[in-house]
Structure 1
Amino acid sequence: MKLKLNSLTFLPAVALLLSSSFAHAQNSVIDQIVKEGNENSQLETLARELMDGIGPRLVGTPQMLKANEWAVAKYKKWGVSARNEKWGEWRGWERGISHIDMVYPRVKSLEGTQLAWSPGMGDKTVTAEVIALPDLADSAAYQAWLPSIKGKFIMISMPQPTGRPDYNWKEFAMKESFDKMQADRTAKTTAWANRIKKTGFTSRTLPVILENAGAAGIITSNWSAGFGVDKIFSAYTKKVPTVDVALEDYSLLYRLTESGIKPKISMHTESKELGVVPTYNTLAEIKGGAKANEYVMLSAHFDSWDGGTGATDNGTGTLTMMEAMRILKKVYPKPKRTILVGHWGSEEQGLNGSRAFVEDHPEIVKNLQALFNQDNGTGRVVNIGGQGYAKAADYITRWLKPVPSYIRDSIKTSFPGVPGAGGSDFASFVAVGAPGFSLSSLGWSYGNYTWHTNRDTYDKIVFDDVRRNAILTAILIYMASEDAERTSTERAPLGTNPRTGQPLKWPEQVKATRRGGLD
């Protein structure tokens, strides 16, 4: 006798079988991501090639272009389609040799770095007296003083009362000593700000006034509140060099001038002006299948300041995204949605590369499933916020679930969160209502020691943490690509600013600066 069954009898069993099959396939890909990331990591090789071989990636420099071309070649070697996409133009400039020596009252080589876009001195070496910006009564007194600076190097930064960071004082100092130092530093900071103000200029405009009055060069010291560390940003002078001298040597020069000894230094700095040069974003893509016109994105800025080699800002973010793409191409070569990575140019001057991409590619932004950006140092990811999207908790929590517990358990989430208005490239997408998220990491003294400093170098990379970040990113991208649901960008109520009591507002889109340093 044949048993007749209604076809509906089989539906639950079929559904269970399909669900089990999907879960098995999902686990298999995730296991492969973890295995590839841990057992065949390319992070150290990539870091040596980028940080040691190419070096810093200041927008408008040959090194930035070399990095763009290197990344494209690397992706193509992995079988990933890649290209450099022009988004603007910048002042072309290349750093050259710098030598700074104190030659009186004794000989000592000084630690110093010419600032980005500083004019060079050609084949000249200038030996001259160093003087400090004096504390005069008013702008008229400064105008009367200006002729006396001709042919001299001028120090315009406040001399710090200590080169020890506060944590060192807290560990060893008597409380009264620490309090006294802090009070002294606060008073000196206020007094120096007033000294600058009385010139009638600002710290930005004063160097130009001094060079026009005949100064041989400008000397600054932008201490980063850590042992031996200075921030290195851009010069405002156009004819004479601006050089940052490390706190220890700057303080020495200042004390000598204050003691009535007239120190002299010998300076030779070289740089090249390269005219107008194109600027690029490097983009790489793994084409999707069933939902090829929807996108999941990896994001990290490629440029850096050039006091160090841009290792943790944002070399580690760059490595994370490149390694994640390499892994995905190997274990997930046929994604449901198109996987796209953006390595942005000129983030440091205002998120310009990512802002330009948002302007130039509305079709991608409109169909963005999610973007994950990493840009705050070498540490493992410990925070993911919802960026103000009402339902971000639903999908991000779902995507995090299969992440290995040793990675996932250290991550705190905050939903719906508050939309980021700046800081890094995910904000360019959030500003237009696209689901961009920041993978925020442990500090590793980032603010004091590596962020925009002369110590942001290969040796500061913690590869175990970056390896975790690459695995995490690859899994999040895989989960976002495979998700049956489209992400919601419904905005949550933002509440009020606790400081002002005013309603918080969604950040507005800011246009990219497409011609930089040329005016």
Structure 2
Amino acid sequence: MKLKNYLFIPLFIVQGLAIAQTKDAIIENIIKEATENSQLPQLAHELTDLIGPRLVGTPQMKQANDWAVAKYTSWGISARNEKWGEWKGWDRGITHIDMISPRVRSLEGTQLAWSPSTPAKGVTADIIIIPDLADSNAFKAWLPTVKGKFVMVSMMQPTGRPDDNWEQYGTKESVEKMKKERAEMTTAWAQRIRKTGFTSRTLPLALEKAGAAGIISSYWSAGFGVNKIFSASTKKIATVDIALEDYGMLYRLAESGNTPKLKIVAISKDLGVVPNFNTIGEIKGTEKPEEYVMLSAHFDSWDGATGATDNGTGTVTMMEVMRILKKFYPNPKRTILVGHWGSEEQGLNGSRAFVEDHPEIVKNIQVLFNQDNGTGRVVDLSGQGFLNAYDYLGRWLNKVPYEIRKEVKTNFPGNPGGGGSDYASFVAAGAPAFSLSSISWAYGNYTWHTNRDTYDKIVFDDLRSNTIMAAIMTYMASEDPETTSKVKSVLPVSPRTGEPMTWPTPRSPNRRGGLD
């Protein structure tokens, strides 16, 4: 017992000294403000609960743009909305899905993004399942039977329990049996769709042309109660996603001959062509105003929920960094910019447009930090293939409190990211841009593009740590007397192709989404 106490005291002192030894009033103020006066919960509430999801082309996306400009203005930070393109405008209304036979039950589900609307009173129809037919000719012969029916186009999952739940409670034999059956079902369903002569994306259009009343899908996200919600491909009839539990029930009823009848009300509005914007905030530099330290986070989201962790968390973190820096570092040496990008989810379009439209900024970027993979604390920092990234990132990271930086695994020089999030748009243009990559918190299963990506999934302690890290590293990058090296490393041989890897090249954005 005495030995444990003896060891504990020096460790406590060392950790305390890690902060005290910074001897930098700005860093100390950043830490104090982020810890004791965090605005993160309020920002997240306003963005996710009040405004809600930010699907490109929707009124909520423009509302978010204007909200961010107003928020920055209230902090004394110059901000603007910068048009970069146009998109198919769409406004989500209510979705209500009821089974009215063989019994009555309201079902969990929602229309997919950009889905056409049902009539105001809804559509009532029986359900049928895509059959397992011999080939595309047999499918063409069957196709007229879909007229006036809702058509189920997704496989019925054999279990709604995630794998970790099976592995915790199931026997080894039952787990292996479940996985084998699921793999066989998945293969068989893919073959079933292939034999129609269509893909999962083109099949709904063929069903629509044949007179189907609506399309019903279910894209399970391998977690309890979680589905991924993406976009519809139909042009005239509604497409809805129904939760695994209810979808399975409908499938089994249809398969057993107890044909379910549904009433679906899925209201939406086609708003025609609407402009799209990036929101840009700026704290002007005093000594090197034409050099830029940049913060980055995409603003848009899918709209199955409220886009809280993809990417509300990255958005409010970067906003909080800007607020704190404006308060305690109002006259930076280099200009500090923040970019809140539109249409990242459809192919990094907003950031690619910024790179294309602002070569004068991109060529003078000292560094860019991007955050976009959930609510977790930052645990990974890669050099993105820049040969000397360790030199400057290592020095700046060393100023971050030990309790935060000890979590971070670094990889230098690393390989350049070709996609995934907006930093890749800048890396392709040769700018030193880096992802502040977070610990998972089951992001891929439970919140990434799902119907459960809501405020209550945010872990604010981790966001506060990320705010401190990003603010300190931004401050250090601005103050650094040296300009960062943009020298690229020689890339290794690809294990997939056996050929030397090449640096990604800039790609033009889609500036007319859903319109051409």
Whether the TM-score (by the shorter chain) exceeds 0.5 is yes
2:331 matched to 1:334? yes
1:173 counterpart letter in structure 2: G
Q: What is the DSSP-based 3-state SS (H/G/I as helix, E as strand, rest coil) of the residue aligned with 1:275?
A: strand
Aligned residue number for residue 386 of structure 1: 383
Q: How does 1:301-450 map to 2 (within 5 A)?
A: 301-450=298-447
Q: What is the DSSP-based 3-state SS (H/G/I as helix, E as strand, rest coil) of the residue aligned with 2:24?
A: helix
Counterparts of 1:124 and 1:216 in 2: how far apart (Å)? 14
Instruction: Between 357-366 and 500-509, report the one with greater CA deviation.
Output: 500-509
Deviation at 1:25, TM superposition (A): 9.4
2:240 matched to 1:247? no
Name the count of aligned residue pairs.
497
Deviation at 1:498, TM superposition (A): 2.2
2:490 matched to 1:493? yes
2:51 matched to 1:54? yes
Counterparts of 2:179 and 2:225 in 1: how far apart (Å)? 19
Match of 1:461 among 446, 458, 462: 458
Counterparts of 1:363 and 1:178 in 2: how far apart (Å)? 57
Counterparts of 1:316 and 1:40 in 2: how far apart (Å)? 17
Aligned residue number for residue 517 of structure 1: 514
Counterparts of 2:92 and 2:508 in 1: how far apart (Å)? 29
Deviations 1:216-270 (A, max 9, x none): 1000000000000000000000100000000000000000011111111111110
Counterparts of 2:93 and 2:294 in 1: how far apart (Å)? 37
Deviation at 1:170, TM superposition (A): 0.6
Q: What is the DSSP-based 3-state SS (H/G/I as helix, E as strand, rest coil) of the residue aligned with 1:92?
A: strand
2:424 counterpart letter in structure 1: A
Counterparts of 2:338 and 2:374 in 1: how far apart (Å)? 19
Task: Say if 1:472 and 1:503 are closer, same or farther in 2 by CA, change over 3 A.
Answer: same
Match of 1:207 among 193, 201, 204: 204
Counterparts of 1:220 and 1:479 in 2: how far apart (Å)? 49
Aligned residue number for residue 121 of structure 2: 124
Q: How does 1:181-200 map to 2 (within 5 A)?
A: 181-200=178-197
2:257 matched to 1:260? yes
Match of 2:73 among 73, 76, 99: 76
Q: What is the DSSP-based 3-state SS (H/G/I as helix, E as strand, rest coil) of the residue aligned with 1:293?
A: strand
* Identity among equivalent pairs (%): 70
Counterparts of 2:381 and 2:468 in 1: how far apart (Å)? 15
Counterparts of 1:423 and 1:149 in 2: how far apart (Å)? 38
1:307 counterpart letter in structure 2: G
2:296 counterpart letter in structure 1: S
Counterparts of 1:298 and 1:270 in 2: how far apart (Å)? 37
TM-score (norm 1): 0.95
Cα RMSD after superposing both structures: 1.0
Match of 1:94 among 72, 91, 96: 91
2:388–2:413 CA contact under 8 A, matched in 1? yes
Gaps of 5+ in 2: 1-19
Counterparts of 2:130 and 2:121 in 1: how far apart (Å)? 25
2:22–2:399 CA contact under 8 A, matched in 1? no
Counterparts of 2:399 and 2:447 in 1: how far apart (Å)? 33
2:234 counterpart letter in structure 1: T
2:147 counterpart letter in structure 1: K
2:30 matched to 1:33? yes
2:54–2:64 CA contact under 8 A, matched in 1? yes
1:508 counterpart letter in structure 2: T
Counterparts of 2:322 and 2:434 in 1: how far apart (Å)? 17
Deviation at 1:499, TM superposition (A): 3.1
Counterparts of 2:332 and 2:22 in 1: how far apart (Å)? 13
Counterparts of 2:349 and 2:22 in 1: how far apart (Å)? 40
